[in-house]
Structure formats: C-alpha cells, structure tokens
Structure 1
C-alpha cells in the first residue's frame, strides 16, 4: 500500500497589527517577532502597522485588512490583558462571524509551563471574519513566540496533519453561497 503524496507548502498572506500606546515600528519587538517567524516559515507579510489602544482605530484597520484580497490571516499583538487600556478583544470579538473557541485555552496550556498562573491574565482569542483568520495574542515577545511556535506554525501549514486552518480557508465563506 502506498502512502498519499506529500502536500506542498502553501504560503499564507499575513497582516500583523501591534496594539500599543507606546510602541513604534523601530522598537516593536513583538510585531517583529511575529514577522520574523512567519517569514522564516515561508509566509508572506501583507501589511504591518501599529495602532493605539482605541476600539474604533483597531476596528478600522481590521475591517480594512479583512476586505483586502492579499490578506489571508491577521495577527494582533497587545491589548489582550485586563487593564482599562486593553481593548483589543472588545474591538475585534464583535467582528467575528465565528470564534475559534479552542484558541485561547490552547494558548493557556502552552503558556502555563512558562509563566504559571500569570497566563490567566491573557484573553488571547481567535475568530473568522470575511473568510480571514484573526488571531489576538498578548503583547509580550514571549507570548508571540508561544502563539506562533505552539499553534500558528502548525495550523497555518497546509502540510500539517490531521488537519489545519489552510485546508479549510476556501470554505470559510460557504455560508454566503447557500442562498444561491
């Protein structure tokens, strides 16, 4: 019995948004960490920005990127904590058509051995909007490494089995075609 042929890698077009009142591109270690890891794994950077902790400003960028044909996935870093300025989740969660409910718990499982119970202060989450994946990670470089290395590297790799996010990308908007 022969095994099925190996799948070829499919690069994902990724936009990275850092949510911070203090960072600039030059000192955005978390955004750079995600950009570097995505590129090293063969993905394409479609856009990268920094935005202040402002619900309307965050939503504006997310909506813009969700409408772009050169973006498959959006990764945010920052604004997922519990302080008054942490508004990434409040800005983005209402935009989800579907939430990827296992993302946050899996992030906590990966984070716990490194930072212990402090992981409870993160509201990492993910969802789908307009056929695009949106992943919201905490703002620390360590959390970005955990999110990429522990979840996104595999789930954004078409070769990962038994299943991955890339193989279902073409079907994310099939609910829009049902009425036709």
Structure 2
C-alpha cells in the first residue's frame, strides 16, 4: 500500500484509481438526485402558492388527523409538504416591552427594549397545547397548560402584593393542592372540620 505524507498531519493511504472513480461517480449521482429533489420541491411550492392564490387550495392531508383548534392562525406550515417535525398549530404572539431591562440592538443600528413574547402552540399529534414564553431568540419556557396557569397565578399574586391589593387568586389552579369545586369536603372542609 502506498502512503503519502502531507506536510501537516499523519500519513494517509493512497486510494486505488477504481475506488476514487466510484466515489466521484457516487458524488455526481448524489448531486443529481439532490438537484432533482430540490427542483421538484420548488415546483410543488409554486403549485401550492398558485392554488392558494386561485382559491383552489385544499387543506393539508395531515390536518384531517389533527384539525386546527379555534386559536390557530395557520399559515405556510399548514401544507402537505411541511415536514412532520415542523407541523404545528400556533396562536398569535403577544408582545410586552420590558422597559426596565437593558435594551438590545435591533438589526444593526438602533436600541430597543427587550420584548417578552407569549404564544400558544400545539405540535402535530400532541394531546395538549402549551404556552411559550420567551425573550429574543434564546430564552424560552415551554409550559404545559397547568404549568402556565400556575405561573400566571403566581405572577398575579406577586403583582397584587406589590400593589398592596393582595388577595388569594381564585382560578381553577389551587397552589395548596385543592380542587376548584367549593363543595368538595376533602379540599374545602366546613368550618370546624379537618380535611382528609
């Protein structure tokens, strides 16, 4: 076996000419396959855009398994060609400027306050939606509906405490573990009784 010694690094075996030719041919076929697939996908996207513009577009077939909830704003991710990992129902994003945080540079030339972004989404075939809370592109919290409700209750309690108007929040979530049914004797005993 022949070895070549490049100036930098260990010696590598020389490839026989037939192996090199087969590798080059496999590379050419891979490029051709990739180009054919890319061109077909671009034609499919153009056809889908034309169908949307002409009003003849049909709902994506995957939506039959997982129809849009009322809050879903839909969009381009609701097409047949959407990869299963990208299929999702998503609601509008609510933005709150956080003016007490250090401003960030937006684009390349101006300062802007940090924005909290709050949205709801449900991935393809998931049972329940989740609430997404984030700032910018890096910091995100994905909370189940129960977790989001607990976060909301805690925040509302803190706001009321800070404003001096605190009273326990009455929502379906009870931070002490009780159920929302006021007639439940296990969670809400009568005066003088002890809960189970």
Give yes or no for TM over 0.5.
no
Q: Structure 1 length normalisation: TM-score?
A: 0.22
Q: Which has the higher helix share?
A: 1
Identify which of structures 1 and 2 has the higher relative contact order when contacts are C-alpha pairs closer than 8 Å and 6+ apart.
1
Q: TM-score normalized by structure 2?
A: 0.21
CA radius of gyration, larger in:
2
